[in-house]
Structure 1
Amino acid sequence: MATDWAPILRAARRSAGLSLDALSARTNYSPSQLGHLETRRRRVRSEHVTAYETALGVSISPELHYVATILAATRRLEDKTSPGLVLPAVRGLVPVAETLSAEIGSEIHQYTGWLELVTGEQESADRSFDRAIELATEADAPDRLAHALSFKAYGLLEAGSTTDAGAYTDSALAVTTAHPLIRVYVQYQGARIKAVEGDRTGAIAQLREAGMATERITDVEPPDAAYWSDEATFALQRGRVLWLLGDESAARREVLAGLDAMSPCNRAASWAAKWRAVADGADVPA
């Protein structure tokens, strides 16, 4: 059976944290031509695979797609069950992923760190996030790096290390070539940190900056794991910051708007439970 290269090329590009426009700039193909290759509207030939490998700096194999497929299915399973149930399986992917590419290794470590964090394994999560940052840096993958730095900051913030969280958030924002929607998420995280620190002026300024950045983004392909970087999630983050700033009514409106904008799958996911509780009268998660 012939190899179906279209999803493999797409997985390789997204694992590298590149949009079609960004990959186009590294090849002799337009974004639409690359899109046709990745959606089976144009036959993939050996020279196309070579162009992807040269642009991404990796050797592309069907195994990359297999790991990406397993990862996507595991995320859906997590949404339907719980982080603790899928954590052992994700940890099992780590050695395979690192063997295939630094980019996908970074993604697996980041996801492992997230699962460890929400299941109470803070120290393990810190190590996983550190490895994700290391691999993303090695691979020169801006989306992966910004993601890993922001997740490290999130874990530190949850642990009460506000100053360190701010430093990692600043580092994530310094990755100027990361996907613009990822950068908006990081800006909202920065606003939360400033609100926790009691810097009302700084938090409001960061909220405005994130809002203006979102308005400037048009016709851009969403990043991988896009539910972290869509308008529904941004509304939740705005609600969180406004709650910390003492504007409880506006905070609730934002959270309820975010819940309404979510896909049914994301709204029903275990990670969204604390947000669903707001609709029943609970406090907005700070």
Structure 2
Amino acid sequence: MQPVTGTGCPSTAVYRGGAVSELGRNLRTAREAAGVSLAALARRTHYSKALLGHLETGVRHVRPEHVTAYARALGVAVDGLYGPPQDPLRVAHKWLVSDSPVTAHNAAGRRVGPSLASELERRVIELRHLDDVVSGADLLPAVRKELSDAEYVVAEASYAEETGRRLLTVVGELAQLAGWVASDAGQYVEAQRVYLSGVSAARSAGDDALAGQLLSSLSYQIANVGDPADAALLARSAVKGAADTSPLVRALLLERVAWAGARCRDRDGARRALDGVDEAYEARSPAVAEPEWVYWLDRREIDVMAGRCLIELGDPAAAEPLLSAAIDAYTPEHAREVALYRTWLAESYARAGEFDVARDVLGKAETAASRLSSARLHLRVQDVARLLPGAA
């Protein structure tokens, strides 16, 4: 893979590891229940037999148009292929094929008001929370669509100054989410592009905290797949640019500094940043307003990051209790996060020489990965597996 100029960040790399998604299983189950072969379905849908097989086995990502094609060819309801009504993946795909509020406002004229800004603000929160339970490759198309619609309104509509500021903030928040889920899906070049476009929108809106969040999110990606020294510089720049911000935002930005420092093997710098995270978190107060996008940062998440940093800094034994306690506190719907954190727990055991325990923990993460469309998770499983004796 070739680096992106000036970042050390690799180019787009989509994982094609053959993981069977729940949706792929549903498509295959419906086809087999109808007594239709792959060859016959290919004739009915005009998709190739090979593509259909790849959709059903997880080699290719299932898109909403694929689901629609199956439903028409098999004479079944689209909803039935998605599974239970409240299944998060079903919600994400329905979001993609439904009309957005921008469509209705376009029909009413170019002038938009606060009501559209409020509706888009509500929708970005809903999408952000879907990311807790839907993998990046599944959520990315819906986020792309929402971001495109919001950018169109900002560029083409007319509005009052305050409404414009709110719309720009929505664009910035959607860009951060789009970058995050694109990175989770292995689309690193796209993630970098939308992160930087979001910084421009956030700065135009006068939202320094959001600009810092976007830059630190890009720093996190570069620390993982690019040059950690570049990531450290970018993370520190984000903290400096958002100097007058709320405690939780500061804690989040410092977490990214700590991670980049740990990846650089800068023990003192990483530990200072982790101390700063703790201080900022303890300074939080109900009297201080926090942006909604920092809702997920709690003591458990801070402990996970501290544990990850300790592993990078060569202290896996200290990392284990932090990671174990955090993993035990998660609920089942957070399958991707639990699996990711199990890879770090497995790494802590592997680096401490406890290989049997490491294999057991990594096996649980690998089982979850087979059901999730997350390049980040699949790559972590592969990386940790290489630490175990007998790995190829």
Please report the TM-score for the alignment, with normalisation by the length of structure 1: 0.71
CA drift of 1:222 comes to 4.2
Residue 122 (structure 1) aligned to one of 188, 191, 197: 188
CA drift of 1:199 comes to 1.6
1:273 and 2:307 aligned: no
Which has the higher mean CA deviation after the structures are superposed, 213-222 or 185-194?
Answer: 213-222
Aligned to 2:250: 183
1:255 and 2:323 aligned: yes
Letter in 2 for 1:70: R
CA drift of 1:128 comes to 0.4
Q: How many residues align?
A: 225
CA drift of 1:118 comes to 1.1
The answer (yes or no) to whether the contact 1:235–1:255 under 8 Å persists in 2 is: yes
Whole-angstrom CA distance in 1 between matches of 2:185 and 2:217: 15
The answer (yes or no) to whether the contact 1:227–1:233 under 8 Å persists in 2 is: no
CA drift of 1:109 comes to 1.1
Letter in 2 for 1:182: V
- Alignment partner of 1:79: what SS? coil
Letter in 2 for 1:125: A
- Alignment partner of 2:361: what SS? coil
Q: In 2 relative to 1, CA 141–269 (structure 1 residues): closer, same or farther, beyond 3 Å?
A: farther
The answer (yes or no) to whether the contact 2:220–2:259 under 8 Å persists in 1 is: no
Whole-angstrom CA distance in 1 between matches of 2:130 and 2:137: 11
Aligned to 1:149: 215
User: Highest CA radius of gyration, 1 or 2?
Assistant: 2
- Provide structure 2 residue ranges, at least 5 long, that are not aligned to the other structure: 1-111, 155-166, 347-359, 366-379, 385-392
Aligned to 2:30: none
Aligned to 2:284: 217
1:127-170 CA-partner distances (Å, limit 9, x unpaired): 00000111111111122111111111111112222122112111
CA drift of 1:271 comes to 3.9
- Alignment partner of 1:120: what SS? coil
Letter in 2 for 1:232: R
Whole-angstrom CA distance in 2 between matches of 1:259 and 1:221: 28
Whole-angstrom CA distance in 2 between matches of 1:76 and 1:106: 16
The answer (yes or no) to whether the contact 2:342–2:361 under 8 Å persists in 1 is: no
Which has the higher mean CA deviation after the structures are superposed, 143-152 or 209-218?
Answer: 209-218
Whole-angstrom CA distance in 2 between matches of 1:60 and 1:149: 30
- Provide structure 1 residue ranges, at least 5 long, that are not aligned to the other structure: 1-58
CA drift of 1:239 comes to 0.6
Aligned to 2:274: 207
Whole-angstrom CA distance in 1 between matches of 2:335 and 2:291: 20
The answer (yes or no) to whether the contact 1:195–1:244 under 8 Å persists in 2 is: yes
Q: In 2 relative to 1, CA 180–60 (structure 1 residues): closer, same or farther, beyond 3 Å?
A: farther
1:91-129 CA-partner distances (Å, limit 9, x unpaired): 111232232511100111111111111111111111000
Residue 244 (structure 1) aligned to one of 312, 319, 329: 312
Letter in 1 for 2:324: L
Q: In 2 relative to 1, CA 172–90 (structure 1 residues): closer, same or farther, beyond 3 Å?
A: same
Aligned to 2:125: 72
- How do residues 93-104 of structure 1 correspond to structure 2 at under 5 angstroms? 93-98=146-151, 99-100=153-154, 101-104=167-170
1:91 and 2:107 aligned: no
Which has the higher mean CA deviation after the structures are superposed, 173-182 or 64-73?
Answer: 64-73
Letter in 2 for 1:153: S
CA drift of 1:228 comes to 4.1
Q: In 2 relative to 1, CA 72–269 (structure 1 residues): closer, same or farther, beyond 3 Å?
A: farther
Q: In 2 relative to 1, CA 73–242 (structure 1 residues): closer, same or farther, beyond 3 Å?
A: same
Identity %: 27
Q: In 2 relative to 1, CA 123–62 (structure 1 residues): closer, same or farther, beyond 3 Å?
A: same
Please tell me the root mean square deviation across aligned C-alpha atoms, in Å. 2.5
The answer (yes or no) to whether the contact 2:255–2:274 under 8 Å persists in 1 is: yes
Aligned to 1:196: 263
Letter in 1 for 2:284: I
Aligned to 1:36: none
CA drift of 1:65 comes to 2.5
The answer (yes or no) to whether the contact 2:246–2:289 under 8 Å persists in 1 is: no
Aligned to 2:198: 132
